[in-house]
């Protein structure tokens, strides 16, 4: 993924965040439902970030054996959860449109990069593991597809920290604390 696309993705989300917090009308029910989705998303992101060896290996284990994009799946669940928690349904629709447009392009670019870098190993992986919606049973690479795939270490807290996933966790926590505070002061 190019740096400019990543920068655009991270900056463009603020076009939704500021009006979202200004207009949010959280309720206890919306916070619980949205919080459950966001917590699931944060857990998926954490698992993925602690498993992936970015730009070094084709990761096909852990959450990557269920979906080729668990980090983005986690972000999706966090975003949907946060918009539901805010209690203003048009923002959920706006987020969905934003996600499809921005992340769809990002996912296509990363898929092309991985296909170029890892060739037949990636092709085999892509044939067996869905792009986004996870499969229930994890895929297991066999034969040459597994050679050079991952180190086999699985999740490590050190990798989670190196991939700076704590930033996502802090962001989700801050967002829900702000929503809870807004609910109490409404």
The pLDDT of residue 146 is 43
Q: In this predicted model, what pLDDT tens digit does every residue of 102-133 receive, in sequence order?
A: 899 999 999 999 999 999 999 999 999 999 99
The dihedral built from the CA positions of residue 16, 21, 22 and 27, taken in this order, carries a sign that is: positive
The pLDDT of residue 11 is 76
Mean pLDDT along residues 143-169: 75
Mean pLDDT along residues 45-65: 92
Mean pLDDT along residues 145-163: 72
The pLDDT of residue 14 is 79
The pLDDT of residue 145 is 44
What is the spatial distance between Cα 42 and Cα 29, in angstroms, rounded to a whole number? 20
Q: In this predicted model, what pLDDT tens digit does every residue of 6-44 receive, in sequence order?
A: 677 677 777 778 899 999 999 999 999 999 999 999 999
Query: Closest by alpha carbon to 60, among 156, 162, 158, 148?
Result: 148
Burial of 36 (0-12, 13-18, 19+ CB in 10 A): middle
CATH 1.10.8 fits 25-185, yes or no: no
- The pTM score is 0.89
User: 112: helix, coil or strand?
Assistant: helix
């Amino acid at each position: 993924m190019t740096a400019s696309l990543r920068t655009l993705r991270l900056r463009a989300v603020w076009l939704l965040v500021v009006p979202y917090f200004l207009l949010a009308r959280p309720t206890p029910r919306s916070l619980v439902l949205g919080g459950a989705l966001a917590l699931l998303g944060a857990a998926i992101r954490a698992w993925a970030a602690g498993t992936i060896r970015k730009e070094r290996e084709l990761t096909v284990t852990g959450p990557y054996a269920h979906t080729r994009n668990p980090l983005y799946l986690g972000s999706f669940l966090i975003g949907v959860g946060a918009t539901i928690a805010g209690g203003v349904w048009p923002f959920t629709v706006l987020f969905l449109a934003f996600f499809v447009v921005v992340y769809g392009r990002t996912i296509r670019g990363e898929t092309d990069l991985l296909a170029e870098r890892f060739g037949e190993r990636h092709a085999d992986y892509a044939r067996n593991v869905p792009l986004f919606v996870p499969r229930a049973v994890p895929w297991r690479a066999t034969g040459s597809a597994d050679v050079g795939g991952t180190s086999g270490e699985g999740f490590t807290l050190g990798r989670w920290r190196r991939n700076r996933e704590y930033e996502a966790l802090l962001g989700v926590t801050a967002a829900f604390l702000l929503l809870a505070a807004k609910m109490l002061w409404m």
